[in-house]
Structure 1
Amino acid sequence: MENMELVCFQIISSAGMAKSSFVEAIKAGEKGDFDLASDKIEEGKNFLNQGHGVHATLIQKEAAGEKTPISLLLLHAEDQMMSAELTELMASTILSQQKKILDLEAELSKKAS
């Protein structure tokens, strides 16, 4: 397959950018900025979709009979994609919990007043 290294690095780059966006979302949530957190989640999903698009091209070529050379670089790229997907799930869960905590704190504050 032509330019296999380039394809792998496109996947790795997209996954890395996605993970960074998801971590930025968590940090924004810690500060109570859920609008920014939501934007960062969407940004991360867009990066992840870019990586999936490149990955899907590999799968389509292999389904059409073109063999994909397996390399450590390809394995690393796929590992990074899975890691980014897990980071997305964790970020979404953490943000949901952060919102609940802030809501409960606000409710307790009202009751204490």
Structure 2
Amino acid sequence: MEEQTNLEVIMELIIYGGDAKSNAMEAIQAAKAGDFESAKAKISAAEASLVKAHHSQTGMLTEEAKGNKSEISLLMVHGQDHLMTSMAFTDLAKEIVDVYKRIDEK
């Protein structure tokens, strides 16, 4: 994998991960305000961003499986960390939205 391509993939992990986390946070805020349709849409947007990030990550993993090793840099570690944190945050946001919805129904 070329360095520029590697950098592009890392930046996609950071960008899509950031988009996912932002949408997940907005979903929580919408649910807190009682706007569950918006919360659902924001969770869907977060999940779509995570899918894009996974596609980028899968490309990098495929290249490594082919024997095209990538240099591990601090930026790559940051991108992977950003993605994993966003995944966990999105999962947690789904649970928080569900809690707000249950409270609203009572």
Range into which the TM-score falls when normalised by the shorter chain: over 0.9
Q: CA deviation at 1:10?
A: 1.1
Q: CA deviation at 1:16?
A: 0.2
Instruction: Specify the code of the residue in structure 2 equivalent to 1:16.
Output: G
For residues 33 and 74 of structure 2, what CA distance do their matches in structure 1 show? 39
Instruction: Specify the code of the residue in structure 1 equivalent to 2:49.
Output: F
RMSD: 0.7
Structure with larger RCO (C-alpha < 8 A, sep 6+):
2
2:45 corresponds, among 43, 47, 50, to 43
1:88 correspondence with 2:90:
yes
For residues 59 and 71 of structure 2, what CA distance do their matches in structure 1 show? 14
Q: CA deviation at 1:6?
A: 1.7
> 2:80 aligns to what?
78
Q: CA deviation at 1:102?
A: 1.0
For residues 7 and 69 of structure 2, what CA distance do their matches in structure 1 show? 15
- The count of corresponding residues between Structure 1 and Structure 2 is 104
> 1:5 aligns to what?
7
For residues 86 and 102 of structure 2, what CA distance do their matches in structure 1 show? 24
For residues 45 and 77 of structure 2, what CA distance do their matches in structure 1 show? 25
Residues 4-55 of structure 1, C-alpha deviation per residue, up to 9 Å, x if partnerless?
Answer: 2221111100000010000000000011110000000000111111111000
Seq. identity, %: 34
Instruction: Specify the code of the residue in structure 2 equivalent to 1:92.
Output: K
Gaps of 5+ in 1: 105-113
> 2:29 aligns to what?
27
> 2:68 aligns to what?
66
Gaps of 5+ in 2: none
